[in-house]
Amino acid sequence: MVPIGVQKKLDLWRLLLSHFFVHKIKINFIPMFIEERKFEYWMNRLVSHFETVNRKIDKLSNKENKINDEALLDNQDLCLLLKVSKRTLQRFRSSGKLPYKRIGKKTYYLESDIHEFIQNRFSKP
């Protein structure tokens, strides 16, 4: 018989694992008895690890590309902003209407160049 406090913690553990792992993985728990102090220690350690991973993911996902404090947008960002296809952006680049930078195999656009392009391209009647 598992004490009620331990059972609640096991249920919390199952809930945590069910959110972080694929549901196809079947997890069978073997009841074991450890001191509450050790259990709390390992649970706190696990939670702090999840928080660290979460902070790192947030940091990576909110990372903006910048050159000299100026934002860089990639093809996807600019396609969404201008509501055009990637092929249209390629035509703008090929015709010299839209300046761009290549870093490795990826194409970027300076925010100031985009503002200038929008003013020149879309303000003319």
Query: Could you report how far apart the first and last alpha carbons of the chain are, in Å?
Result: 81
CB 46 within 8 A of CB 78: no
The owner of tokens 């290549």 is 102
The answer for 48, left when phi > 0, alpha when psi is -120 to 50, beta otherwise, is alpha
> pLDDT by residue (tens digit) across 25-67?
566 667 777 788 888 898 888 888 888 888 877 766 656 677 7
User: pTM for the whole thing?
Assistant: 0.48
pLDDT at 95: 93
Residues 6+ apart with CB under 8 A from 45: none
Q: How far does CA 12 lie from the centroid of its chain? A: 26
pLDDT at 124: 56
CATH of domain 66-122: 1.10.1660
pLDDT at 27: 60
Separation between Cα atoms, residue 75 and residue 107, nearest integer Å: 7
Q: How confident is the model at residue 93 (pLDDT cuts 50, 70, 90)?
A: very high
